[in-house]
């Protein structure tokens, strides 16, 4: 999974929320903390994970993962792309 590909998908998924917060796609950079930006809450993040699994056909296994490392697009991509 490429970071820019995931970025495009996340921007599309969070579109309505971005609109409400007056954010443009240029604001949603790969290192943006989606939580701090108000784009997701813990439930919204679970929805995003499920959507990513479906769109990219991946199974996201969070065993042993610090959730704090997942709250940006690059963090998510890194997790999904990790070896093994």
What is the binding site for other proteins (CB under 8 A)? 35, 41-43, 45-51, 53-54, 59-68, 71
- Closer CB to other proteins, residue 22 or residue 61? 61
Q: Is 34 exposed, middle or buried (0-12, 13-18, 19+ CB in 10 A)?
A: buried
The residue among 26 and 63 lying less far from other proteins, judged by its C-beta, is 63
Helix (H/G/I), strand (E/B), else coil: 51: helix
Query: Are 55 and 28 in contact, with CB atoms under 8 Å apart?
Result: no
- Least CB distance from residue 63 to other proteins, whole Å? 6
CB 80 → other proteins: shortest distance, Å?
Answer: 13
């Amino acid at each position: 999974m490429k970071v820019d590909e995931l970025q495009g998908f996340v921007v599309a998924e969070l579109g309505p929320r971005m609109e409400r917060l007056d954010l443009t796609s240029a604001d949603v950079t790969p290192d943006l903390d989606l939580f701090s930006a108000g784009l997701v809450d813990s439930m919204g993040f679970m929805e995003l994970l499920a959507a990513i699994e479906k769109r990219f056909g991946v199974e996201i296994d969070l065993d042993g993962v610090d959730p704090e490392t997942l709250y940006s697009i690059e963090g998510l991509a890194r997790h999904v792309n990790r070896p093994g």
